[in-house]
Structure 1
Amino acid sequence: MAAGRRISAQELARVVRGGSFAEVLDAAIAVRGLTLDRLRFHLGERGVDVSVATLSYWRHNKRRPERPESMRAVRVLEDVLGLPPTALITLLGPPKPRGRRVRHAGMPLEQRLHKPDEGQYAVVSAHDVFTVGSDRLERGTWSRLVLRGEHGRVTRCLVRYRADHPQFPPALTGVRFCRAGRIATEPDTGLMVAELLLDRPLGAGEHAVVEYRMAAEPGLPVDNYSRRFREPVAEYSQQIQFEGTLPKRCHSFHMSDFDVPERVVERLEVGPSDSTCFVRINLSAGVIGTRWTW
């Protein structure tokens, strides 16, 4: 469905008959004229807590509901959106098999960049600065990683970036203290994996610092930024830099995965530098980010 266009009930009936889960959900939201914030509010009134990010992922076919609590949320969505019972549930089909390859969803893409003799490394710390333009569109993220060699000979690291909407794909737009290597993309999901080549090989216990900038093509206004860690990290800091009008409210959030409800961690203030900041020490694996409201 085209963003921002409100469709008719007749169009909704047509999509319900032949559309996918994401298409029917998108059409129903458009017919009701609901923002994702309002939809989340109505779900909350019925005792279901689903993050705006998760609703957006479902709506744009970036992820599908699978967990029991997510399936319950879908049934409540049918009621909130005025859809026939099971109109959404039946479109999901049987659950996908869960296991190591499913949990590591980026692995098939990363196999394109596989090097069988490459050593292993750990991310000791990470720092992100995400910039939101005066038009409320993303300007990209500068990231800084401190790496430590664990086993073998480490000559590179892999970094990932997923655009909010696949039609606005991401790109690696700058590097420091390293060189850009190969890049693999998944146009259908908006995911990109890039290879950063280190200035020198790392042995076990040795460290390196790399910086890089990634950005998606300007598309729709953004209201959150997050990073997913597959392994625990000793230190992580995140800053959101705003240009132009400042948001009314900001808070940090945490999720164990993208298809579970967000947990608000703390309210964040926008300082005189027009930015927010939080720091986490000994962070566990999961998704952590910042959300704001205009």
Structure 2
Amino acid sequence: MADRTDHLTRSSAEQLAEVTTIADLTAAIDRLRRLRATEVGEPRLGLDRLARLTGIPRSTLHNYLAGDVLIPANALDRLVQALGVRGPGLRAWSEALERVTRTARGTGLASATRAAEILAVDARIRAALTRPTDGWYDQTQEISVSERVIVGAERAIVSVQRRVTVRALTGGVDRCSLRMWPRAGIDLDALEAGGLRNCMPGRHRTLTDPPVRVLELLFDHPLSAGETYPYEVTVDFAEARTGELRPSVEAGCIFKRRGPAYTLEVSFGDDLPRRIRQVHQDFVDGPEQPIADLTPNAWGSVHFFVERPGAGVHAIRWEWPEPAGDQQSG
């Protein structure tokens, strides 16, 4: 038994060196289940048996092993130990989980399937940016971001104002970009960059696979490596409107890693939502973590500031009261 366990440990350590995604991790666990099962004459250790060995509920194990939820470190330790991993092999599994966590946070998603989709989308965007001047794509780093979101009379977001300071990661950078995704009732091709300060419009393009509008913003000079540069831009959705706008219920930002200092303000005007709250999610498809209830000021605005936002979603969400005509009479 000891020799067999040692073999499994070495085999796992060698295979785990290539694990970087949730799908890789669940596949590695599945291989270990099959190898361990040969000792008891089964094709693969079943969930019921694993639940008894680990003390982890069967339904929770199913979510982990299906890749629906990223397995926590303590649960992974219990699982692989139940499957015979000992000594240095435990460290290899821990390192593999660290790599998977970084990859998952790099997409903002915990789901293996959705994370793979996001990575594929980003790869297609990069492939479509083929002009010589497209080198700006990864050459600036945001060090502070302030956004003001305006909600109009129809309860839909009508404009987004961004005030950003970037740092050049290499010399010669003279532009950055803003990506806009499709919205119901909005002509994606008609979206333009307005309200510009310290920058001017470059070549705006709409990609088809995936559908995304890339707004290029030009600086007034090429930056030196490490140089900072502030600029402002406004995207007005009302000017690109083609149909009825859906009521908006959230605004925020997704950070793939620890983000810059971030301020988010949402202005509602006179038509105020029923409940407004600041929330955070470790992943886009993860559970919502309420941070605080927000109360509009005298001008109908709410905001929050995060000095060093962690990876994930940082947002303001709200609920609209039903129109008077839709309410049930008592």
Secondary structure of the residue aligned to 1:283 is coil
Partner of 2:180: 161
Q: Given the superposition, is the C-alpha separation of residues 202 and 69 from structure 1 closer, same or farther in structure 2, using an over 3 Å criterion?
A: same
Name which of 189, 207, 230 aligns with 1:209.
230
TM-score (norm 1): 0.61
Unaligned runs of 5+ in 2: 1-58, 60-65, 71-111, 321-330
Matched, 1:125 2:144: yes
Counting only pairs closer than 5 Å after superposition, residues 42-81 of structure 1 correspond to structure 2 as 67-69=67-69
Return the alpha-carbon distance in structure 2 between the equivalents of residues 235 and 69 of structure 1: 29
What is the Cα deviation at residue 110 of structure 1? Answer: 4.2
Report which stretch shifted further, 161-170 or 256-265. Answer: 161-170
Matched, 1:283 2:309: yes
Partner of 2:76: none
TM-score (norm 2): 0.55
Unaligned runs of 5+ in 1: 1-46, 48-65, 71-94
Q: Given the superposition, is the C-alpha separation of residues 178 and 104 from structure 1 closer, same or farther in structure 2, using an over 3 Å criterion?
A: farther
Q: Given the superposition, is the C-alpha separation of residues 104 and 206 from structure 1 closer, same or farther in structure 2, using an over 3 Å criterion?
A: farther
**CA deviation profile, 1:17-68 (whole Å, cap 9, x unmatched):** xxxxxxxxxxxxxxxxxxxxxxxxxxxxxx9xxxxxxxxxxxxxxxxxx951
Return the alpha-carbon distance in structure 1 between the equivalents of residues 250 and 259 of structure 2: 21
Partner of 1:106: 122
What is the Cα deviation at residue 116 of structure 1? Answer: 6.3
Counting only pairs closer than 5 Å after superposition, residues 1-294 of structure 1 correspond to structure 2 as 67-69=67-69, 96=113, 102-103=118-119, 105-114=121-130, 115=133, 118=136, 120-165=139-184, 169=188, 171-174=191-194, 175-186=196-207, 191-216=212-237, 217=241, 219-294=245-320
Which has the larger helix fraction?
A: 2
Secondary structure of the residue aligned to 2:298 is coil
Q: Given the superposition, is the C-alpha separation of residues 158 and 136 from structure 1 closer, same or farther in structure 2, using an over 3 Å criterion?
A: same
Which residue type is aligned with residue 122 of structure 1? Q
Q: How many percent identity over aligned positions?
A: 25
What is the Cα deviation at residue 266 of structure 1? Answer: 1.5
How many residues align structurally?
206
Return the alpha-carbon distance in structure 1 between the equivalents of residues 209 and 185 of structure 2: 6
Return the alpha-carbon distance in structure 1 between the equivalents of residues 209 and 152 of structure 2: 26
Q: Given the superposition, is the C-alpha separation of residues 290 and 98 from structure 1 closer, same or farther in structure 2, using an over 3 Å criterion?
A: closer
What is the Cα deviation at residue 160 of structure 1? Answer: 1.8
Give yes or no for contact 2:125–2:210 (8 Å, CA) kept in 1.
no
Give yes or no for contact 1:156–1:198 (8 Å, CA) kept in 2.
yes
Give yes or no for contact 2:175–2:219 (8 Å, CA) kept in 1.
yes
Give yes or no for contact 1:113–1:182 (8 Å, CA) kept in 2.
no
**CA deviation profile, 1:104-153 (whole Å, cap 9, x unmatched):** 73342244335465472210000100000122122110001101112232
Return the alpha-carbon distance in structure 1 between the equivalents of residues 288 and 208 of structure 2: 27
Return the alpha-carbon distance in structure 1 between the equivalents of residues 203 and 275 of structure 2: 39
Secondary structure of the residue aligned to 2:297 is coil
Q: Given the superposition, is the C-alpha separation of residues 230 and 197 from structure 1 closer, same or farther in structure 2, using an over 3 Å criterion?
A: farther
Secondary structure of the residue aligned to 2:128 is helix
